């Protein structure tokens, strides 16, 4: 499959995401924030970083970049979209995912190998994992606290839209230990940890992140 | 506590030309944790400022317009505030005209 990776001004992990797409057996296609077309891709990744310098709010300005008009339309048609870290923030600002991400409750940037439980393996990004699988994936963020009102949190839990949860100490104040969520349809996924940094043994804490890139299967969705 | 002005600080000019200006204040919703406000709250007693029981930190936007600020302009400002200046999931905003402000 052709997987587009969007580069915004200030994206950091776009090249790692492209590389991980290749490790997952797919072709990475570089997309630019100023593009008006998606170059025929089958799925899209919004990578981590500090797009638009995190000005105003994380993801707030990226959400209005030209390429996001196309990404939002494609997501609404059912195209698989994965937002990692800053990409997750962009998806929330775009209202493709509920809730928002705020500054870590302890006010410090966190960078560590993080234990997670995969709660939902029925999305095109997590089907390679067993439900309830416990994995270790790099987490690095300053504004990773997931918040939403109680009714939204209850709905996310009730509908199985909590994708992954932090295990052990909560690293950033995320409500209900939420590390990632999906939309009701299941094609749009936001994840605060960075699976693209956990795809080879040479660097980082193993290859537990690879599943996010091997899960994609032709026609698996939409 | 009143601190004397630094000698390099020049007094403000008597009367600035009036530019039509709308102010949008954006604040974190009361139920949303505000780590920045908490950090400021923690710093105040260390500087000898006692008695402050809570600090909430927000953003202020001053929007200048070329022409008169009509109801239509204000309606548009509300739209800006809802779509871009604030995130209604975690923040609320208020809009007012700058002319109405009195210096503290």
Please give the residue of chain B at the shortest CA–CA distance from A98: B89
pLDDT at residue B20, rounded to an integer: 86
Which of A52, A54, A57 would best serve as a mutation to test chain B binding (most B beta carbons within 10 A)? A57
Give domain B21-100's CATH number out of 2.60.200.20, 1.10.3720.10, 3.30.1280.10, 3.40.50.261. 3.30.1280.10
DSSP B26-80: EEE-TTS--HHHHHHHHHHHHTT----------EEEEEE-SS---HHHHHHHHHH
pLDDT in tens, A27-59: 999 999 999 999 999 999 999 999 999 999 999
B89/A60 Cβ within 8 A: no
- Residue A138 confidence (pLDDT) above 50: yes
Block means of pLDDT (10 residues each) for chain B, 104 residues, are 56 66 97 94 96 97 94 97 97 89 57
Active site residues of A: 85, 194, 196
Q: Could you tell me the residue ranges of all domains in chain A?
A: 2-214
Please give the residue of chain A at the shortest CA–CA distance from B26: A56
Other CB atoms within 10 Å distance of the CB of residue B73? 14
pTM of the model: 0.90
Q: Could you tell me the residue ranges of all domains in chain B?
A: 21-100
pLDDT at residue A222, rounded to an integer: 47
Fold category of A2-214 in CATH: Rossmann fold (3.40.50)
Q: What is the ipTM for the molecules in this complex? A: 0.88
pLDDT in tens, A64-80: 999 999 999 999 999 99
Closest CA to A172 of A215, A141, A201: A141
pLDDT at residue B18, rounded to an integer: 73
Whole-angstrom distance, CA of residue B36 vs CA of residue B39: 5
């Amino acid at each position: 499959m052709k997987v587009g990776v969007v580069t915004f001004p200030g994206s950091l992990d776009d090249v790692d995401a492209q590389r991980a797409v290749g490790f997952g057996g797919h072709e990475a296609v570089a997309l630019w924030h100023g593009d008006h077309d998606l170059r025929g891709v089958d799925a899209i990744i919004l990578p981590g970083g500090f797009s638009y310098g995190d000005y105003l709010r994380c993801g707030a300005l990226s959400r209005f970049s030209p390429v996001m008009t196309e990404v939002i339309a494609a997501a609404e048609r059912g195209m698989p979209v994965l937002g990692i870290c800053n990409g997750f923030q962009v998806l929330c600002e775009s209202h493709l995912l509920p809730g928002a991400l705020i500054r870590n409750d302890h006010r410090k940037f966190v960078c560590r190998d993080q234990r997670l439980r995969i709660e939902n393996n029925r999305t095109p990004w997590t089907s390679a994992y067993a439900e309830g699988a416990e994995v270790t994936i790099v987490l690095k963020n300053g504004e990773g606290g997931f918040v939403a009102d109680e009714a939204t949190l209850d709905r996310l839990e009730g509908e199985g839209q909590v994708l992954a949860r932090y295990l052990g100490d909560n690293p950033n104040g995320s409500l209900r230990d939420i590390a990632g969520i999906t939309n009701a349809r299941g094609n749009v996924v936001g994840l605060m940890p960075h699976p693209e940094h956990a795809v080879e043994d040479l660097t980082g804490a193993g290859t537990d992140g690879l599943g996010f890139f091997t899960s994609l299967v032709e026609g698996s969705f939409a | 506590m009143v601190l004397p002005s630094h000698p390099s600080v020049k007094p403000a000019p008597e009367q600035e030309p009036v530019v039509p200006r709308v102010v949008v204040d954006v604040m974190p919703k009361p139920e949303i944790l505000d780590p920045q406000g908490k950090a400021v709250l923690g710093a105040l007693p260390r500087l000898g400022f006692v008695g402050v029981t809570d600090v909430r930190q927000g953003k202020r936007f001053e929007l200048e317009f070329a022409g008169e600020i009509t109801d239509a302009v204000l309606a548009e400002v509300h739209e800006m505030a809802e779509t871009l200046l604030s995130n209604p999931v975690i923040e609320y905003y208020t809009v007012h005209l700058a002319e109405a402000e009195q210096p503290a």
